Structure 1
Amino acid sequence: MVERAVLDLNQRDLWQGQNLDANSLLALRCVSQEQAMDLLGALYSKGTGKGGVNISSPNNYLQAAVAKILRDGASNGMNFTGNQTRQKATELGLSLEDTTLQVLSRLPLRISVKMLESAATAQTEGADPNLAVLEQASHFEQHLQDSQQEEEMPRKRPREA
């Protein structure tokens, strides 16, 4: 499965002629299949422009990620991609859409985690956690805009000449 995923990524040519090489494939064999597939999935997402991260060398990315997994002795549930919001959503049992996770990635982590916790509560009550997050994020962004507009407004009324 891992080998097929590597071949698929190479065929997609996401890094202008840079293919995943044998060293990367060997490195992926040093971790569990689930971890390897998670890393390849993250690499694919970044290669297609999701998350706003540009990877200049997919081989360096994979080999460094595998080295980190091995160095830290990480278990299957660890987050190797740095996406703390996605990991927290998974911990809370939420399966959020990519668009929802992208909205959360633009917010401060503390705010995102609060929204995820509210979404988990909404989900237990039968509501769609994606809608709960998007609604809260919209309110938060509107609050930020209102605060910025208040700061730009003059405090005193100008004198008439």
Structure 2
Amino acid sequence: MKPTLPPPASMTAELVEAFTDESDIHALAEAATAAVLDGGGFGWVKPPTAAAVEQYYRGVPLVPERELIVGRMDGVIYGAAQLQKPSRNNEAQSFAVQLLHHFVAPYARGHGLAKLILKKAEEQAKALGFHVLNLDVRESQQGAMSLYEAEGFIHWGTHPAYARVKGQIISGHFYYKALK
């Protein structure tokens, strides 16, 4: 897909511990809604209201087991990802973290922002002491699968009835990456 935004002068990915600028939460909600409408999902098939998306993202930094990473182009948020830490009582899997809800708005794709967000998520996972990064993705998200494979993630399994989208059952793929 060709990007519709011109090449940015700057791109960054950063950890968000709290939202201090209302324009950030609005931009994140808009980008997430656009990604859902484009099939990017993260569980949503139809986007909820803008207020519900904003409320969801306001809450993410408050959850101790979550880390929110956002991607910016020229200072505006166009994508994000989350790290889900294992619960404190899950000692057996305490070495691994899950990557969730990784997306870039469709009109901001093609500039490398998804890769930048992914790299920041990996750095954050390592900084937190995790050794493995796990993720899963719907079969319909071929671009994401290509990115993960290009970045060294290992496809270890497929679930044939992973999700239902528009009445159709679709498969999902599971990946992991050892963090060095």
Q: Same fold (TM over 0.5)?
A: no
**Higher normalized contact order (CA 8 Å, seq sep 6+, divided by chain length):** 2
TM-score (norm 1): 0.31
User: Which has more strand, going by share of residues?
Assistant: 2
Q: Looking at CA atoms only, which structure, 1 or 2, has the larger radius of gyration?
A: 1
